[in-house]
Amino acid sequence: MTTQFKSLLQVLDYFKEESTCIAYLANSRWGETPCCPHCGNVGAYKTNRGYKCKAKECGKKFTVTTGTIFESTKISLRTWFAAMYLCTAHKKGISSLQLGRDLNVTQKTAWFLLHRIREMLANNQTEQLDGMVEIDETYVGGATKNKSNKKRRELKESGQQFVNKTGVVALVQRGGEVRTKVIYTQKPKIGDVLPIIQQHVSENALIITDCSNMYTNLKTNYNHETVNHGESEYVRGIFHTNTVEGFFGQLKRGIIGIYHYVSPKHLGAYCNEFSFRYNTRKVSDIERFEDAFKKCNNVRLTYEKLIS
């Protein structure tokens, strides 16, 4: 599919009719021939409301939204598409309050839309990061929010500055992608991060971290260089962690500036959103919007699950 849009206005103009949205989604998911979301068979009969699988042993009915984030919602596809554009195009994200106003839906609906979109944007890539990979962790939210500088200092001195904060580990390949994982511990140990590293980083990669004790034993399994922030040695030639810190900067500015507060339960979803934008940073807003459609299959997130 070649792109035909250059701006949000063109997107909104083009997707005026629900039938246009349906045709676009069908083409984006299947190309010319529909694929049954129940059994995977390629080929289906057209029915009044959608399709019926051609495979004899299946024969189930489905529509263009079956098995996608758009399934079983009363929200029009036109509204969904606009929400996807706004969520993926804004560099720091968009709040449910703002999205609700932009689309003339309730904040509750906007909040649900955004969470389904974040679920969709999760990176399910199994390809491992390679080359130079910077790894670091940061802490988001928590007790020092809305506290005076004096109070913050007191908390820091008493070692409580991390109370109620939630950890995020990020792994960034230089010039490549980021992967993130939320860790629910204030004092992570190598056992908390090693499985994440083993899942996402190739054995041949060169890993760069700070001097945190947690990473000390990485050398036994990986090529590993460290940067000593304590001795203000932030940049030692090519060995630095500026890339991963830059990503954390974007994540934190977005969370503080746009979302204000993110509960530990939903932090992973926000990380999905920021990671998707980071990983598609080299493409235009329109290409990013169209990329997002490739991820809309097989994502289920009900409202009940979301608020449980």
Nearest residue (CB) to Zn ion, 31 versus 249: 31
Q: How far is the CB of 67 from Zn ion (least distance, A)?
A: 11
Alpha helices per DSSP H over 170-307: 190-200, 242-254, 264-279, 285-293, 303-307
Task: Lay out the site mask for Zn ion across 41-80 (x = CB under 5 A, - = otherwise).
Answer: x-----------x-x--x----------------------
Among 21, 26, 36, 214, binds Zn ion (CB under 5 A): 36
Residue 252: phi, psi to the nearest 5?
-70, -40
| Collapsed DSSP state (helix, strand, coil) of residue 308 | coil
C-alpha separations of 77 from 19, 82, 130, 172, 302 in Å? 9, 8, 38, 34, 17
Stretch in the footprint of Zn ion (CB under 5 A) among 33-41, 95-103, 133-141, 276-284: 33-41
How many residues make contact with Zn ion (CB under 5 A)?
7
Stretch in the footprint of Zn ion (CB under 5 A) among 32-40, 126-134, 228-236, 275-283: 32-40
Q: How far, rounded to the nearest angstrom, does the alpha carbon of residue 274 sit from its chain's CA centroid?
A: 5
For residues 205 and 222, the answer to whether their CB atoms sit within 8 Å is yes
Q: How far is the CB of 41 from Zn ion (least distance, A)?
A: 5
Query: Any idea which residue has 């500088």 for tokens?
Result: 149
38 lies in the site for Zn ion, by CB under 5 A? yes
Nearest residue (CB) to Zn ion, 53 versus 251: 53
Q: How far is the CB of 1 from Zn ion (least distance, A)?
A: 24
Nearest residue (CB) to Zn ion, 36 versus 120: 36
Amino acid identity of residue 140, one-letter, is V
Q: Which of 216, 207, 210 minimizes the C-alpha distance to 129? A: 207
Stretch in the footprint of Zn ion (CB under 5 A) among 29-37, 94-102, 235-243, 297-305: 29-37
Dist CA 255 CA 197 (whole Å) = 25
Nearest residue (CB) to Zn ion, 260 versus 300: 300
Nearest residue (CB) to Zn ion, 61 versus 253: 61
Q: How far is the CB of 37 from Zn ion (least distance, A)?
A: 8
Q: How far is the CB of 88 from Zn ion (least distance, A)?
A: 31
Dist CA 206 CA 241 (whole Å) = 12
Nearest residue (CB) to Zn ion, 60 versus 224: 60
For residues 241 and 134, the answer to whether their CB atoms sit within 8 Å is yes
* Token pair recorded at residue 272: 């999905």
Among 23, 39, 97, 163, binds Zn ion (CB under 5 A): 39
For residues 132 and 116, the answer to whether their CB atoms sit within 8 Å is no
Residues that bind Zn ion (CB under 5 A): 36, 38-39, 41, 53, 55, 58
